[in-house]
């Protein structure tokens, strides 16, 4: 098979009901584009892999099928797909039909007509549940505050091959967050408004707990903001504690008042809790460094077809 213009990388998790329809829509709307589809089964518990095998048997070289040894997460699965993609540009999209394949030509047209390295498909209205939408908003706002960029983006994106390969080189990181790594390599980013459909089958695997975990992992792995916050917290608490000490000394000298038991307890508890918080933050960074040094892989491949 000659080099395709487009590779479409799709991480798959428990989506057996949507895969055949998804591939059919891709073929329908990309008739004039040479493409391949890279399915990465991220440890699905249903028959998703059997569906991918059937699609591979039917369509041959148009499909690359990868099965991971267990569930490693959406971003890690996408990075795995990057290493197998042959296209000059790479599209990433979800497996649940909420990203319409009919919108891929919009991304491709913007990429062809602009000097950009990345085109994001952004939604005017997201058809996620309330928890998923709240998590997305939190990540968007915090990206602007903590990381210093606008935070706009989505998992429906078209990436220039060279940028995707740079991202794939981060295989020694156990936790990979593609949208943050992208900002390390380029600021040439465009946005196209696309439709976002209701989920037709099953339900999202992103629970509130999982979204919070991803958010905290990303903040610690990709920013020094918690350390900066800890520095400011230490400075402010030092000033507050110093002023409290001056107040107690003044009262002692002026009014001969015995320092109260409550004031002492409050001061001790405040200082101790602050130290525990700072130690916890530093401990998280040390743990991340340990995992990085141990070279724990972000994914492990079971089968490639």
pLDDT in tens, 163-175: 999 999 887 676 7
pLDDT tens-digit profile of 196-222? 888 777 666 656 666 677 666 666 666
pLDDT at 272 over 50: yes
In this prediction, residues 18-40 reach a mean pLDDT of 96
Give the highest mean pLDDT range of 47-51, 225-229, 246-250: 47-51
Distance CA 287, CA 265 (A): 32
What CA dihedral angle connects 80, 83, 84 and 86, to 10 degrees?
140
Calculate what percentage of the chain has a pLDDT beyond 70: 74
Per-residue pLDDT at 143 exceeds 50: no
Q: Is the pLDDT of residue 240 over 90?
A: no
Pick from 132-146, 181-195, 246-260 the range whose average pLDDT is largest. Answer: 181-195
Q: What is the DSSP letter of 144?
A: I
Q: How do the domains of the chain map onto residue ranges?
A: 6-223, 225-293
Which strands form 6-12's sheet, in the order they lie side by side? Answer: 189-194, 118-123, 157-160, 89-92, 6-12, 35-41, 63-68, 301-304
DSSP helix/strand/coil, 301: strand
pLDDT (0 to 100) of residue 254:
72
Q: Where residue 290 falls among pLDDT bands split at 50, 70, 90?
A: low
- In angstroms, the CA 116 to CA 111 distance is 6
In this structure, which CATH number among 3.90.550.10, 3.30.70.2860, 3.20.20.150, 3.30.450.70 belongs to the domain 6-223?
Answer: 3.90.550.10
What is the spatial distance between Cα 131 and Cα 199, in angstroms, rounded to a whole number? 15
Give the pLDDT band of residue 69 (cuts 50, 70, 90): very high
* The pLDDT value given to residue 181: 87
How much of the chain exceeds pLDDT 90, in percent?
Answer: 46
Of 13-22, 89-98, 273-282, the poorest mean pLDDT is in 273-282
**Average pLDDT score over residue span 175-185:** 85
Kindly state the average pLDDT of the residues 254-266: 64
Question: Under a CB-based contact definition with an 8 Å cutoff, are residues 34 and 275 in contact?
Answer: no
The secondary element (H helix, E strand) that includes residue 37 is: strand 35-41
Task: Please state the separation of Cα 124 from the chain's center in Å.
Answer: 20
| Mean pLDDT in residue range 283-296 | 70
Pairwise CA distance, residues 93 & 280, whole Å: 36
Instruction: Collapse the DSSP code of 30 into the 3-class scheme (helix H, G, I; strand E, B; otherwise coil) and give the result.
Output: coil
Tell me: pLDDT of 223 over 90: no
Q: What is the mean pLDDT of residues 133-155?
A: 56
HSE of 92, CA atoms in CB hemisphere, 13 A: 25
Higher pLDDT, 65 or 223: 65
Q: In the Cβ-directed half-sphere of 166, how many Cα atoms lie within 13 Å?
A: 15
pTM of the model: 0.74
């Amino acid at each position: 098979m000659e080099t395709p213009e487009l590779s479409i990388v799709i991480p798959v998790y428990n989506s057996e009901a949507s895969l055949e329809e998804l591939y059919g829509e891709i073929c329908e709307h990309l008739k004039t584009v040479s493409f391949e589809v890279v399915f990465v089964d991220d440890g699905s518990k249903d028959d998703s892999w059997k569906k991918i095998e059937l699609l591979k048997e039917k369509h041959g070289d148009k499909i690359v099928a990868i099965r991971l040894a267990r569930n490693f997460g959406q971003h890690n699965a996408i990075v795995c797909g990057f290493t197998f993609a042959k296209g000059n540009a790479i599209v990433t999209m979800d497996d649940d039909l909420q990203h319409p394949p009919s919108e891929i030509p919009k991304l491709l047209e913007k990429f062809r007509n602009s000097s950009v390295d990345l085109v994001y498909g952004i939604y005017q209205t997201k058809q996620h549940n309330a928890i998923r939408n709240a998590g997305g908003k939190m990540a968007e706002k915090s990206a602007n505050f903590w990381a210093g960029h606008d935070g706009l983006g989505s998992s429906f994106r078209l990436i220039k091959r060279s940028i995707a390969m740079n991202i794939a080189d981060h295989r020694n990181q156990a936790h990979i967050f593609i949208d943050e790594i992208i900002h390390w390599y380029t600021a040439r980013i465009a946005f196209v408004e696309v439709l976002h459909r209701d989920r037709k089958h099953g339900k999202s695997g992103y629970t509130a707990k999982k979204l919070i975990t991803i958010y905290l992992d990303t903040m610690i792995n990709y920013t020094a903001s918690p350390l900066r916050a800890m520095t400011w917290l230490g400075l402010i608490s030092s000033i507050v504690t110093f002023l409290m000490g001056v107040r107690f000394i003044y009262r002692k000298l002026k009014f001969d008042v015995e320092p109260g038991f409550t004031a002492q307890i409050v001061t001790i508890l405040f200082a101790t809790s602050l130290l525990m918080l700072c130690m916890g933050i530093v401990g998280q960074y040390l743990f991340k460094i340990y995992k990085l040094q141990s070279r724990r892989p972000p994914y492990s491949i079971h089968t490639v077809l």
